[in-house]
Amino acid sequence: MRAYQVTEFGKTELVENAPKPSPAKGEVLLKIHACALNFADLLMIKGTYQERPNLPFAPGMEVAGEIVALGDGVSNLEIGARVAVFGGHGGLAEYGVFPAALCVALPDAMDFVTAAAFQVAYSTSHVALDYRADLKPGETLLVLGAAGGVGLTAVELGKLMGATVIAVARGADKLAVAKEAGADHLIDTETDDLRARVKELGGADVVYDPVGGDLFTAALRSCNPEARVLTIGFASGDVPQIAANHLLVKNITVIGFYWGGYLKFKPEVLTDSLSKLFSLHGSGKITPHISHTLPLSQTEEALELLRSRRSTGKVVVEMTN
């Protein structure tokens, strides 16, 4: 089979004759149709992500495809079933083995590209805003990186949850995408003073931050009393240091959030979230924004779209020739 592999950390290649895996006990073999990319894939390739698979490996965290073989002990799934899986890695290949317990059945109306782009971005925002931050109708949600893969879903879901949404992104084109997703107010990091603008708009009750760096600091200083700040990731490359006295004075809570961590200690949080999100998609209330879809042979170009921040929403790789 073909697979885009990390042969050593920082080095990748498209392997044309990689061995086709076989499912072990409790696993399924998936014919992968589509794999959505995430910023974490870039970190995994470099070897700086919190999880480091054994070399060589195919990156690609979230996939959608068709089950073609079952490992021993798998009785709740059938060959031919269409499923989505967050497998952590292994998605940038024509076939992959994944735990059966992580497979989520796809609605009949959902295609593979949509399904691949759906899981991490939407469920990250849904679990963060609903389960962790308890976002309430009427509150003000400040979304940093609002045109990115997870940021855009935070705008969309925040609006559905009844919040006033302030979207922060770089440049008019990206802000237009956030506006289309439902943002009430827009802040351009190229021209605007984030802290001053948020304060003018009444301050933030919940901050959704996949960026980190100076934007985190500015957002923290624009918070209202009892605000909740969600640390989703650090796309800026700068992990901010938190001034605890700022938290004390306004009774602010900073909430660490790693979506994939729930797979290990509370997976029902994620499966419940995905079930609710599939229902929202089926009723037409949410639709993934996919800016680019490329074939496996152009995986490097697809990753560069993330690396250079030229994409909006999600980038998906299809296993086509």
Domain assignment present for residue 281? The answer is yes
User: What CATH number should be reported for the domain holding residue 91?
Assistant: 3.90.180.10
User: Is the predicted pLDDT of residue 37 greater than 90, yes or no?
Assistant: yes
Whole-angstrom distance, CA of residue 137 vs CA of residue 71 = 45
Report the mean per-residue pLDDT for the chain: 94
Query: Final residue of a domain: which of 219, 242, 257?
Result: 257
Instruction: Identify whether residues 245 and 279 lie together within a single domain.
Output: no
pLDDT for res 198: 98
Q: Which helix (H) or strand (E) holds 265?
A: helix 262-265
pLDDT band at 50 (very low <50, low <70, confident <90, very high): confident
User: Is the predicted pLDDT of residue 181 greater than 90, yes or no?
Assistant: yes
Instruction: Identify whether residues 189 and 98 lie together within a single domain.
Output: no
Q: What is the pTM of this model?
A: 0.82
DSSP E strands in the chain: the ranges are 3-8, 11-15, 27-36, 62-70, 82-86, 95-99, 103-105, 140-143, 164-169, 185-188, 204-209, 223-231, 253-256, 290-295, 314-318
Q: Which helix (H) or strand (E) holds 14?
A: strand 11-15
Query: Final residue of a domain: which of 240, 257, 274?
Result: 257
Whole-angstrom distance, CA of residue 3 vs CA of residue 319 = 9
Domain assignment present for residue 231? The answer is yes
pLDDT for res 55: 95
Q: Which domain holds residue 22?
A: 3-119+261-318
pLDDT for res 256: 96
Domain assignment present for residue 125? The answer is no
User: What CATH number should be reported for the domain holding residue 186?
Assistant: 3.40.50.720
Instruction: Identify whether residues 48 and 73 lie together within a single domain.
Output: yes
Token match 């209330």: residue? 285
pLDDT for res 321: 57
Domain assignment present for residue 126? The answer is no
Query: Final residue of a domain: which of 236, 257, 278?
Result: 257
pLDDT digits (tens, 9 = 90+) for 147-161: 988 999 999 999 999
Strands 290-295 and 314-318: parallel
What sign results for the dihedral spanned by CA atoms 49, 272, 143, 64?
A: positive
Instruction: Identify whether residues 225 and 288 lie together within a single domain.
Output: no
Domain assignment present for residue 311? The answer is yes
Q: Kindly state the tokens that stand for 248.
A: 């004390």
Strands 140-143 and 103-105: unpaired
Q: Give every CB contact of residue 266 below 8 A, 6+ residues apart in sequence.
A: none
Q: Kindly state the tokens that stand for 5.
A: 């592999």
Phi, psi of 61 (to 5 degrees): -85, -35
Average of pLDDT values for 218-223? 96
Instruction: Identify whether residues 80 and 171 lie together within a single domain.
Output: no
Whole-angstrom distance, CA of residue 137 vs CA of residue 55 = 47
- Domain count for the chain: 2
pLDDT band at 45 (very low <50, low <70, confident <90, very high): very high
